[in-house]
A and B are shown apart, each in its own frame.
Chain A
Amino acid sequence: MMSQTIQDRRRPAAVQRVNHLSHARLPRWAQPAIAVASIAAGCGIGLAAGWHSKVQWGLLAAMIFVLASFVITTRVEGARQAKDRVATSVIWVSFILAIVPLLSLSWVTISKGIEVLDPYFLTHSMNGVLDAAPGGGLYHALLGTIEQVALAALIAAPIGLLTAIYLVEYGGGTLAKAITFFVDVMTGIPSIVAGLFILATWNLMLGFGPSGFAGSLALAILMMPVVVRSTEEMLKLVPNELREASLALGVPKWRTILKVVLPTAIGGITTGVMLAVARITGETAPVLLLVFGTKLINPNPFEGAQASLPLYVYEQYAVGTDASIARAWAGALVLIAFVMLLNLVARGIARWKAPKTGR
């Protein structure tokens, strides 16, 4: 017996593979090898044909890779395995194709942005600096954005949160249906329209001048539906047993919501709010209409023109000199860093506060 099995095991390795229980398989190094070979082929052909665009080289290499792995696997392992291989390589290729532009975006922003980004840039305004000339900084814009976004969040988060509570905990009637419908409608508002609406009401009808607060109002309009939608989803995830248990103990409904439902969902809700904040931080159009923009530091969001970070990036890009485009990149980098920071904080809170159940 023993010797027979040993022989059985040895034979497939030595001779043709005749074992019917396990298919012939490509060695582990085959896939990377094919990848390297096809990249080389792609670059080679690209170079030979004199294509300038590296994108084409990449596409060609990807096509060769998929094709080669299909052909080789069909020969060695059979049709079903070949399909699997192709799927695997297509998925790898799509992943790499997608990650390249995204990495390029991050890399370009960081490498370009870092050029003029220094403590001086972060702590000074553009006061007295010509837009076309080098110098200055973005402190005024950063401060403006932080204040506007904070105010917008202060307005939108409570309204959005309470609305979501109404929809999930008390909803079901016509009013709730109407609200759900209009929240959906609201998500489709082009951001410039929100700006126009505030301009027509707050500034023209009520006669207020441009200010950071006017910008916050428009941003709040854009933020509300996002908060409602995400909070709604989170509240729906709270198990009904928790509510029932609390109510059964004679706890009033409002206390149940405040003490049981909300704490359970708080992680997800915070994430939703933070993500909404991150989303509105990058809005340019409504801010352009309402906060006016300035080169000076204005710490008071309720009075006088304020600057804003996305607006700053857009303006500096539009000026079009080398110095201003360098400032635009630096502004973009600070903007990304700010949004990323918010995101990280949000995720941190979500993980920290998430109910310790499930996966």
Chain B
Amino acid sequence: MATTAHSEVPPPKGPAIETTKTKNKVRPGDRVFLGLSRGSGITLLVIMAAIAAFLTYRAALAISKDEGNFFTTFEWNPAGDPPVFGIAVLAFGTVVSSIIAMVIAVPVAVGIALFISHYAPRKLAAPLAYVVDLLAAVPSIIYGLWGAIFLVPYLGGLNKWLDQYMGWTYIFDKSSPGVARNLFTVGILLAIMILPIITNVTREVFLQVPRMHEEAALALGATRWEVIRMSVLPFGRSGIISASMLGLGRALGETMAVAVVLSPSFLISGHLLDPGGGTFAQNIAAKFNEADEFGRDALIASGLVLFVITLLVNGAARMIIARRKEYSGANA
């Protein structure tokens, strides 16, 4: 692979070209254009920095007056006297629902991506990919509407079944009555939402697997599954991970769909089928309208935590993508 002419050329980056620039006199047009693009870069930087500063400032205002521990309190009452609020329940709910979503969505998304790239009949594959692409753009409020009105009643039976046969696992033990408006359902809805996103990216990666690898494996008598296991999946592994991170980012921050489906409470319960729990974004949406100035600051503080979590996820994804480029760049 490394012998093709293309890979000999350094990757398209600025520095290579900048060396040529230094030899010439800088033209006015160049100066204007550079100014423009640098200017907009700086504009963006300023906006971002302003938002980050604004957020941190408001959050600090709120946290400094919090009478409970911001990280361990199981209550949200910033309007109370004294104000008490904490993110423990929200962090738990956000993480748990996202984990459920990932556990369901990632394997299924990889399955769909494989289906489209390797299994589906040719005539079916292209339109399917198209449909999945379109589904990735469906606004989340519509997922919420559908989830609240259709998904919740349908999952009632599944909940009952899980409770009956899997109740011994503790997490599937349904200890209080009620419809399926719980973290488990939220996880499933989030999984359905992020499926198209993960599928899209994963499929793109699978399509980039060098044909030679696959053909070589086939020629050695490998079955289709062996081809996938030995050449497609290893090549796509980091792509799958970064796609999952992308989906995870979306799941963590999802607001309207969760707010509409979940029956929240400020309790941490390992019983996933019991109604209760909450997520950062859902809590902001539910409390925001009635909140006074201080209450809003408290919600912003919780938003900041979400913000940091998303940042970490994003950073991790970026690192993995960068590593992938290092070792497989020659293949592309």
**In the complex, are there CB atoms of A and B closer than 8 Å?**
yes
Taking beta carbons and an 8 Å cutoff, which residues of A are in contact with B?
51-56, 59, 80-81, 83-84, 86-88, 90-95, 97-99, 101-102, 104-106, 108-109, 158-160, 162-163, 165-172, 175-176, 178-179, 182-194, 196-197, 200-201, 221, 224, 228, 236, 238-241, 243-244, 247, 252-255, 257-258, 275, 278-279, 281-285, 310, 313-314, 317, 325, 328-329, 332, 335-336, 339-340, 342-344, 347
Which residues of A sit under 8 angstroms from B228, Cβ to Cβ? 87
For residue A86, give the distance in angstroms from its CB to the closest CB of chain B.
8
Verify A102–B47 contact, CB threshold 8 A.
no
Verify A188–B307 contact, CB threshold 8 A.
yes
Verify B37–A105 contact, CB threshold 8 A.
no
With A109-B142, A313-B142: A238-B12 Cβ-Cβ less than 8 Å: yes
User: Is the CB of B219 closer than 8 A to any CB of chain A?
Assistant: no
Verify B141–A310 contact, CB threshold 8 A.
yes
Q: Which are the 9 A-B pairs with shortest beta-carbon distances? A: A53-B157, A282-B139, A188-B310, A94-B111, A254-B33, A84-B223, A87-B225, A182-B48, A162-B40
For residue A23, give the distance in angstroms from its CB to the closest CB of chain B.
10
Give a binary string over B158-182; 1 marks a CB under 8 Å from any A CB, 0 the rest.
1011000000000000000000000
Q: Which of B79-87, B144-152, B234-242, B267-275 lies at the interface?
A: B144-152
Taking beta carbons and an 8 Å cutoff, which residues of B are in contact with A?
9-18, 20-21, 27, 29-30, 32-34, 36-45, 47-52, 54-55, 107-109, 111-112, 114-115, 119, 130, 133-135, 137-143, 145-146, 149-151, 154-158, 160-161, 192, 195-196, 199, 223-226, 228, 249, 253, 255-256, 260, 280-281, 284-285, 288, 296, 300, 303, 306-307, 309-311, 313-315, 318
For residue B234, give the distance in angstroms from its CB to the closest CB of chain A.
15
With A95-B111, A101-B151, A200-B54: A332-B303 Cβ-Cβ less than 8 Å: no
Verify B115–A91 contact, CB threshold 8 A.
yes
Verify A182–B49 contact, CB threshold 8 A.
yes
A-B contacts, CB under 8 A, total: 279
Q: Which of A84, A94, A278 has the most CB of B within 10 A?
A: A94
Which residues of A sit under 8 angstroms from B51, Cβ to Cβ? 186, 189, 193-194, 197, 221
What is the chain A residue whose CB lies nearest that of B260? A317
Complex Cα distance, B151 from A80, in Å, reads 39
With A84-B225, A182-B45, A184-B318: A253-B17 Cβ-Cβ less than 8 Å: yes
Which residues of B sit under 8 angstroms from A238, Cβ to Cβ? 12
Verify A192–B33 contact, CB threshold 8 A.
no
Complex Cα distance, B145 from A314, in Å, reads 9
For residue A272, give the distance in angstroms from its CB to the closest CB of chain B.
13
What is the chain A residue whose CB lies nearest that of B188? A101
Which residues of B sit under 8 angstroms from A97, Cβ to Cβ? 108
Contacting residue for B315 out of A160, A178, A184, CB 8 A: A184
Complex Cα distance, B50 from A236, in Å, reads 29
Which residues of A sit under 8 angstroms from B17, Cβ to Cβ? 169, 243-244, 247, 253
Which residues of B sit under 8 angstroms from A99, Cβ to Cβ? 112
Which residues of A sit under 8 angstroms from B36, Cβ to Cβ? 162
Verify B142–A247 contact, CB threshold 8 A.
no
Verify A172–B14 contact, CB threshold 8 A.
yes
For residue B19, give the distance in angstroms from its CB to the closest CB of chain A.
11
Verify B140–A282 contact, CB threshold 8 A.
yes
Verify B255–A285 contact, CB threshold 8 A.
yes
Verify B38–A170 contact, CB threshold 8 A.
yes
Complex Cα distance, B33 from A243, in Å, reads 16
Which residues of B sit under 8 angstroms from A193, Cβ to Cβ? 51, 55, 300, 303, 307
Which residues of A sit under 8 angstroms from B145, Cβ to Cβ? 109, 313, 317, 328-329, 332
Q: Apart from A105-B135, A172-B15, A343-B133, list 6 A-B contacts with CB within 8 A.
A: A91-B115, A93-B111, A159-B44, A182-B49, A332-B142, A336-B142
Complex Cα distance, B130 from A158, in Å, reads 28
What is the chain A residue whose CB lies nearest that of B51? A197
Complex Cα distance, B315 from A70, in Å, reads 41
For residue B238, give the distance in angstroms from its CB to the closest CB of chain A.
16
Verify B146–A243 contact, CB threshold 8 A.
no
Verify B161–A53 contact, CB threshold 8 A.
yes
Q: Which of B51, B195, B256 has the most CB of A within 10 A?
A: B51
Verify A243–B156 contact, CB threshold 8 A.
no
What is the chain A residue whose CB lies nearest that of B161? A56
With A94-B111, A190-B255: A221-B38 Cβ-Cβ less than 8 Å: no
21 contacts between A and B (CB under 8 A): A52-B157, A55-B157, A80-B226, A84-B223, A108-B146, A163-B37, A183-B44, A185-B48, A185-B307, A190-B284, A193-B300, A224-B47, A247-B17, A255-B29, A275-B137, A284-B256, A313-B141, A313-B142, A329-B145, A336-B142, A344-B134
With A193-B51, A279-B137: A51-B108 Cβ-Cβ less than 8 Å: no
Contacting residue for A92 out of B109, B115, B296, CB 8 A: B115
